[in-house]
């Protein structure tokens, strides 16, 4: 499919888009470790990340609006990137005791640190750490969010196990991410065609984003569902394509 990209002359937003597209399409990801590969991928596009991703990563703001942040609560955002979820939550964060933004890319977290300083989120702090090893005290966290990060964590089941251990009984876990359905989706879930499952899995895998049907299935198994929606979202500059994604909110059982 051939798509033309509009002229970028005199348009900073489109120039930023082209820089991101260059990294997505042509920049070779290097590194011996997951952390090195992640930084290789994001390092050159961190400052342009938000303007492009806001049209690609659908449902993030809506997911945050689903969450009832408790007074004096603790929020952990896993794969926080540039800290956009902090801005989406806005004044909700003021009633929290602490907000922890976790990511493995120093370039993205430097943007998040700047956001914290400029916006006055005094109760927020960033953590440059691996989501498969980082943890806060057991049953100390009220809210955990993962926005388009679970598909980029190789050992994702360990991340969910740690999330479950950190959550207080009754605590909230909220996830928005790309996915593909199972070959035979269970009742109540979307059924994707073979072509859609194959196309999007290979498309995203080129950037080390690994779509699977197992994430959503595991979330349903580990955390009672409060709300779940499966959708399709537009892809910038490719108007005929719609990528499958889901929004999920669950809670850790109280007993």
Is residue 195 in a domain? yes
Is residue 170 in a domain? yes
pLDDT band at 22 (very low <50, low <70, confident <90, very high): very low
> Looking at the predicted structure, is the pLDDT value of residue 51 above 70?
no
pLDDT given for residue 235 in this prediction: 86
Task: Based on the fold, state whether residues 17 and 117 are members of the same structural domain.
Answer: no
Task: Based on the fold, state whether residues 32 and 148 are members of the same structural domain.
Answer: no
> Looking at the predicted structure, is the pLDDT value of residue 226 above 60?
yes
Is residue 2 in a domain? no
Task: Based on the fold, state whether residues 43 and 62 are members of the same structural domain.
Answer: no
pLDDT in tens, 75-129: 999 999 999 999 999 999 999 999 999 999 888 899 999 999 998 899 999 999 9
Task: Based on the fold, state whether residues 86 and 29 are members of the same structural domain.
Answer: no
Is residue 181 in a domain? yes
Is residue 83 in a domain? yes
pTM of the model: 0.84
Task: Based on the fold, state whether residues 17 and 79 are members of the same structural domain.
Answer: no
pLDDT given for residue 29 in this prediction: 59
Task: Based on the fold, state whether residues 40 and 98 are members of the same structural domain.
Answer: no
Is residue 109 in a domain? yes
Task: Based on the fold, state whether residues 118 and 196 are members of the same structural domain.
Answer: yes
Q: What is the CATH number of the domain that holds 77?
A: 3.40.50.150
pLDDT given for residue 53 in this prediction: 67
Residue range(s) defining the domain that contains residue 32: 12-49
Average pLDDT for 136-140: 97
pLDDT given for residue 178 in this prediction: 97
- Give CA–CA dist 219/160, Å, rounded: 8
For residues 46 and 196, the model is more confident at 196
Task: Based on the fold, state whether residues 225 and 126 are members of the same structural domain.
Answer: yes
Q: How many domains does the chain have?
A: 2
Is residue 238 in a domain? yes
Task: Based on the fold, state whether residues 35 and 62 are members of the same structural domain.
Answer: no
pLDDT in tens, 169-207: 999 999 999 999 999 998 889 999 999 999 999 988 887
Is residue 203 in a domain? yes
pLDDT given for residue 107 in this prediction: 87
Task: Based on the fold, state whether residues 68 and 33 are members of the same structural domain.
Answer: no
CB 43 within 8 A of CB 111: no
Task: Based on the fold, state whether residues 40 and 23 are members of the same structural domain.
Answer: yes
pLDDT band at 42 (very low <50, low <70, confident <90, very high): low
Task: Based on the fold, state whether residues 25 and 102 are members of the same structural domain.
Answer: no
């Amino acid at each position: 499919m051939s798509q033309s990209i509009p002229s970028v002359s005199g348009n900073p937003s489109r120039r930023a888009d082209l820089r991101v597209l260059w990294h997505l399409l042509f920049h070779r990801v290097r590194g011996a470790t997951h952390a090195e590969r992640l930084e290789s991928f994001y390092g050159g596009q961190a400052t342009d990340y938000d303007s492009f991703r806001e049209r690609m990563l659908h449902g993030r703001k809506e997911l945050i609006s689903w969450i009832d942040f408790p007074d004096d609560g603790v929020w952990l955002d896993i794969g926080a990137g540039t800290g956009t979820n902090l801005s989406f939550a806005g004044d909700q964060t003021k009633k929290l005791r602490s907000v922890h933004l976790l990511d493995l890319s120093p370039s993205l977290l430097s943007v998040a640190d700047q956001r914290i300083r400029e916006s006055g989120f005094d109760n927020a702090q960033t953590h440059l750490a691996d989501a498969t090893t980082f943890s806060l005290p057991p049953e100390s966290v009220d809210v955990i969010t993962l926005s388009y990060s679970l598909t980029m964590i190789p050992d994702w089941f360990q991340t969910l196990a740690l999330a479950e251990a950190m959550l207080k009984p009754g605590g909230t876990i909220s996830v928005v991410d790309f996915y593909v359905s199972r070959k035979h989706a269970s009742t109540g879930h979307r059924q994707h065609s073979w072509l859609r499952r194959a196309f999007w899995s290979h498309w995203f895998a080129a950037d080390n984003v690994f779509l699977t049907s197992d994430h959503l299935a595991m979330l349903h198994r580990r955390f009672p569902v409060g709300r779940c929606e499966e959708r399709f979202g537009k892809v910038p500059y490719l108007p005929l394509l719609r990528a499958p994604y889901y929004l999920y909110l669950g809670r850790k059982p109280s007993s």
